[in-house]
Amino acid sequence: MIVIPAIDLRGGRAVRLLQGDPDVETAYSADPVEVAVRFQEEGARRLHVVDLDAALGEGDNRERVEAICRAVQVPVQVGGGIRSQEDIDAILSRGAKRVILGTAAAGDPSFVRAAIEEHAEAIVVAIDVRGGHVMVRGWQEAGPALDEAIPMLDDAGSPRYLVTSIARDGTLKGPDMTLYEHVLELTDTPVIASGGVRDADDVWALRDLGCEATVAGKSLYEKTLRLAQVIRG
């Protein structure tokens, strides 16, 4: 089980939103590169970086993304506003090892198929769920129903999913185990869980359920979870 620390970028800072709400922001550091290096030193085997400005259509933090990728030796997966082949190429050229497709993937499986044909395992498909639907455009708009989206994306060849429970994101209330159990029933594709993780017990519960990895953000910043507790196993 791999715990992947999250670094969400907004205005060049490392921040966390509550349930994806851009109006409820907590800033944790003005230097996200330092945060990335610290997570690596604590034992992280991969980092998860999201460009919130790009996701929300408010600019981008690509220079910060590149600085993070250059500052660490562990692989970095990057998401946020990646909606074309050119965007994928640009992020990979800045040092990312994986690219996370969200809005574009939910609305256009042919785009996912083309991206996978070109980049294979470097592609992660984000499934951000609220009320049984996949949310798009920075989690601000409802897309297809979850039960329709996963088979469609499986057919497109998705190599892995990043599934986020928006209602749990940033709450420290524990993961939505019912959601992940349902997703794992719908697909044999590896699943990375995100949203609500509070402590090591949550990590082990997701592992036992069958998730490949989990993304942790607020729990690491607030120190209810420490990487040293979960870098084994």
- Residue 138 or 45, more confident: 45
Q: What does the pLDDT read at residue 233?
A: 44
Residue 85, in any domain of the structure = yes
Output helix, strand, coil percentages for the chain, rounded to the nearest 5.
40, 30, 35
Sign of the alpha-carbon dihedral angle for 11, 12, 15, 17: positive
Query: What CATH number corresponds to the domain at position 57?
Result: 3.20.20.70
Task: Say how far apart CA 139 and CA 81 lie, in whole Å.
Answer: 11
Active-site choice (51, 53, 128, 202): 128
- Provide the angle, in degrees to the nearest 10, between the axes of the packed helices 200-209 and 177-186: 20
Q: Has 23 been annotated as catalytic?
A: no
Task: Say how far apart CA 224 and CA 52 lie, in whole Å.
Answer: 24
- Provide the angle, in degrees to the nearest 10, between the axes of the packed helices 32-41 and 62-71: 30
- With bands split at pLDDT 50, 70 and 90, how would you rate the model's confidence at 232? low
- For the cut 90, the answer to whether the pLDDT of residue 109 exceeds it is no
Domain, as residue range, for 187: 2-228
Q: How many CB atoms lie within 10 A of CB 231?
A: 14
Residue pair 172/221 in contact (Cβ under 8 Å)? The answer is: no
Residue 233, in any domain of the structure = no
- Copy the structure tokens of residue 1: 């089980």
Task: Say how far apart CA 193 and CA 172 lie, in whole Å.
Answer: 14
Active-site choice (8, 51, 53, 169): 8
Task: Say how far apart CA 231 and CA 144 lie, in whole Å.
Answer: 35
- Copy the structure tokens of residue 85: 């082949």
pLDDT digits (tens, 9 = 90+) for 5-30: 999 999 999 998 888 788 888 899 99
pLDDT digits (tens, 9 = 90+) for 119-175: 999 999 999 999 999 988 777 788 889 999 999 999 999 999 999 999 999 899 999
Q: How many structural domains does the chain have?
A: 1
Task: Give CA 123 to chain center in angstroms.
Answer: 12
Task: Say how far apart CA 69 and CA 43 lie, in whole Å.
Answer: 16
- Copy the structure tokens of residue 146: 């979850």
Closest to 182 (Cα-Cα) out of 136, 150, 141: 150
Residue 10, in any domain of the structure = yes
Mean pLDDT of the residues in the chain: 93
For a pLDDT cut of 70, what percent of the chain falls above it? 99
Q: Has 31 been annotated as catalytic?
A: no
The dihedral over CA atoms of 116, 211, 78, 31, expressed in degrees to the nearest 10, equals -170
Residues in contact with 225: Cβ distance below 8 Å, sequence separation at least 6, in sequence order: 3, 197, 198, 199, 200, 202, 203, 216, 219
